[in-house]
Amino acid sequence: MSLTDLMTMAKSNKMLQRQILSQLWEVHPDECFQCMRCTSGCTSLKLLELKPHEIVLLTNSGFVEELVSSDIIWTCASCLKCRERCPQKASPYNTIMALRNLAVEREAKVPEVYMKVVAQILETGLMQQVKMVTSREMQPLNRKKLGLPKIQCPDDKFKSSFMKALGG
Amino acid sequence: MKVAIYWGCEIPTAQYAYEMSIRQVFPHFDIRLVDLKGASCCGGPVRSINTSAAMYLSARNLALSSQTGIEDLLVPCNECHFMLSETKYRIDNDEKMREKIEKLLAEERLTYSSEVKIWHVIDLFHDLVKVDAVKAKVKRRFEGLKFMVHPGCQIIRPSEIGRVDHAERPIKLDALVEALGAETLDYSEKLDCCGAALLHSHKDAALSLAGSKLKAVQSYGVDGFVDSCPYCHMMYDAKQEEAATTVGGKLSLSVLYYTQLLGLALGVDQEKLGLHLNQSFNPNKLDARAKNILIPRGNLDDRL
């Protein structure tokens, strides 16, 4: 049976819901009884209006399409309080990560920084380039000047394995 | 003893003070750090894109660690520590994921071993070196100084995968600061998140999270704020001035890595600990009592 949200006329989508559930391991959103412990301690609730218990409820009701195309799944600060405090092993954190993965797969709106990081890892193995820093007295300094050893980046074989990992 | 060390990305590309102070303090406890060769990102930021690719990255670094023949692996970044521990827990218990990742690792002739023991700076000192041994090495005690500590989020949660300290009442970092003769105060904002994960997508919210915690800590009148994660430190130190604009008022709180504070207590030169890189650390702002202890020979003072 497909549900209809009478506010938006959105229909639930069982196929996408199954896709989310298949990504989760030892996490059971369907056991959530909406106690809201996750939301009451959520870092992003006050500033960004993230309500983890609603994310779990919408996932359980099959409104996955709506979540995947919403900015709200990108407001999680990954503080892991919801995962720690959930009494039902329904961890909204893991559900949010699965929703983000699905958003990428479906080419929905994804904050630019995440794609940039992947491109950078493919280039050097690390998520950002080695930075020049300044001391309090505005003296520009790098690893060499600070007496730190050179970074040994992974070789090309790593790139092809990482590409495969991203593809599968 | 030898301990392998995985630096991650943020420490070796930006947070040099953490790397410098770690390299300085461990030899004092007869611990030789062995850098992993060809290490990559832990996969933390990749998790949002593709969870199994992120776990492949973590597993690869764990495999590089096993390759050194050393059982103990030090991971000083909170995010890397979480990602590596989460991956280890998953592949040790989920046959399907393990097979998938082992296949990818085989292309680089790497093998994953579940024997590796993951440490953070905090539990390595607290549980392996032991607080009393830290106490015994201290040359300069911070008697009369008050600090507040920030353990961060990802090394204390979720407890099911085995974490560094208690999820709701972490006390190990406090004990380690107290081992240096200082006092630590408990505070209600202790578990608040630094906001770093939101910095590039929701900047104002991220700065506001950092700012409100700093404002609270400052209001308790402590001599300094001690952390041990490159992301938290970046938010509280380099971004402190910017964070102040989101909460109103001025912030001037000295933020230090635990390894920097420990280094000072061991008598290590300030510049070797990268203390000149801490944007928030202003010896002139500290009261006379703190100044005498934190600035050993007055040389930094002369230059300022």
Given CB atoms, is B278 within the 8 Å cutoff of chain A? yes
Residue B138 touches partner A, C-beta closer than 8 Å: no
Q: What is the pLDDT of residue A128?
A: 96
Domain end (from A54, A88, A105): A105
pLDDT of residue A34: 98
Mean pLDDT score, A68-91: 97
d(CA B86, CA A27): 14
Separation in Å, CA of A144 to nearest CA in chain B: 11
Peptide bond into A29 cis (omega under 30): no
Across the interface, whether the CB atoms of A81 and B191 are under 8 A apart is answered yes
Within 13 A of A31's CA, how many CA atoms are on the CB side?
9
**Domains defined for chain B, CATH in brackets:** 2-119 (1.20.1050.140), 137-303 (3.40.50.11810)
Task: Flag whether residue B231 sits within 8 Å of chain A, measured between CB atoms.
Answer: no
Do residue B49 and residue A76 have CB atoms under 8 angstroms apart?
A: no
Closest by Cα among B102, B119, B120, B98 to B111? B102
Share of chain A above pLDDT 90, in %: 92
Q: Please report residues of A whose CB lies closer than 8 A to that of B159.
A: 84
Angle at A4 between CA A28 and CA A69, to 5 degrees: 65
In chain A, residues 123-142 whose CB comes closer than 8 Å to chain B? 125-131, 133, 135-137, 139, 141
Say yes or no: A54 and A70 in one domain.
yes
pLDDT value, residue B304: 35
**Same domain as A162, residue A84:** no
- Render pLDDT for B215-250 as a digit per residue (tens, 0 to 9): 999 999 998 999 999 999 999 999 999 999 999 989
Question: Are A117 and A100 within one domain?
Answer: no
CB B276, CB B237: distance < 8 Å:
no
* B287/B68 Cα distance (integer angstroms): 47
Residue B285's pLDDT is 55
The pLDDT, as a whole number, for residue B303 is 36
ipTM at complex level: 0.96
Structure tokens at A64: 């996955």
Which residue, chain included where needed, has tokens 């380039």?
A129
Split into its structural domains, chain A has a count of 2
Cα separation values, A91 from A52, A66, B78, B269, Å: 9, 20, 20, 46
List the structure tokens of B282: 């202003």
pLDDT (0 to 100) of residue B294? 57
A101 and A116 share one domain: no
Distance linking the first and last C-alpha atoms of chain A: 32
Same domain, A56 and A76: yes
- Looking at the structure, do residues A128 and A68 belong to the same domain, yes or no? no
Asked if A61 and A117 sit in the same domain, the reply is: no
Q: Where are the beta strands (DSSP E) in B97-242?
A: 117-119, 146-150, 183-184, 224-227
| pLDDT above 90 (res A93) | yes
Cβ-based contacts of A111 with chain B (< 8 Å): 200-201
Question: What CATH number is associated with residue A90?
Answer: 1.10.1060.10
Q: What is the pLDDT of residue B22?
A: 98
Alpha carbons A161 and B60: distance in angstroms, whole number: 10
pLDDT less than 50: residues of chain B: 295-304
Confidence label for A69 from pLDDT (cuts 50, 70 and 90):
very high
B105 touches chain A (CB under 8 A): yes
Please compute, for residue A135, the number of CA atoms within 13 A of its CA located in the half-sphere on the CB side: 18
B16, A118: Cβ pair inside 8 Å? no
pLDDT score recorded for residue B302: 40
**B67 phi and psi angles, rounded to 5 deg:** -60, -25
Banded pLDDT at A84 (limits 50, 70, 90) = very high
Query: Strand A10-11 relative to strand A4-5: parallel, antiparallel, unpaired?
Result: antiparallel
Q: Domain residues for A161?
A: 112-167
Among A75, A105, A135, identify where a domain stops.
A105
For residue B245, give every residue at least 6 positions away whose Cβ sits within 8 Å of its Cβ, in sequence order, or none.
B207, B211
> Do A119 and A84 fall into the same domain?
no
Number of H helices, E strands in chain A: 9, 4
Are both A101 and A118 inside the same structural domain? no
Q: Which of A54, A79, A105 is the last residue of a domain?
A: A105
Q: Are residues A135 and A101 in the same domain?
A: no
**Mean pLDDT, all residues of chain A:** 95
Closest CA to B86 of B46, B130, B30: B46
Helix B51-67, helix B78-93: angle, nearest 10: 90
Q: Say if the Cβ atoms of A80 and B14 lie within 8 Å.
A: no
A101 with A50, same domain?
yes
What are B44-61's pLDDT values in tens digits? Answer: 999 999 999 999 999 999
- The answer for B 6-65 residues in CB contact with A (under 8 A) is 9-10, 12-14, 16, 19-20, 23, 35, 37-41, 45-53, 56-57, 60
**Tell me, what's the pLDDT at A9?**
85
Residue-wise DSSP of B128-141: IIIHHHHHHH-SS-
> So what's the pLDDT on residue B81?
98
> By percentage, how much of chain A surpasses pLDDT 70?
99
Residue of B nearest to A84 (CA): B158
Asked whether residue A75 falls in the same domain as residue A153, the answer is no
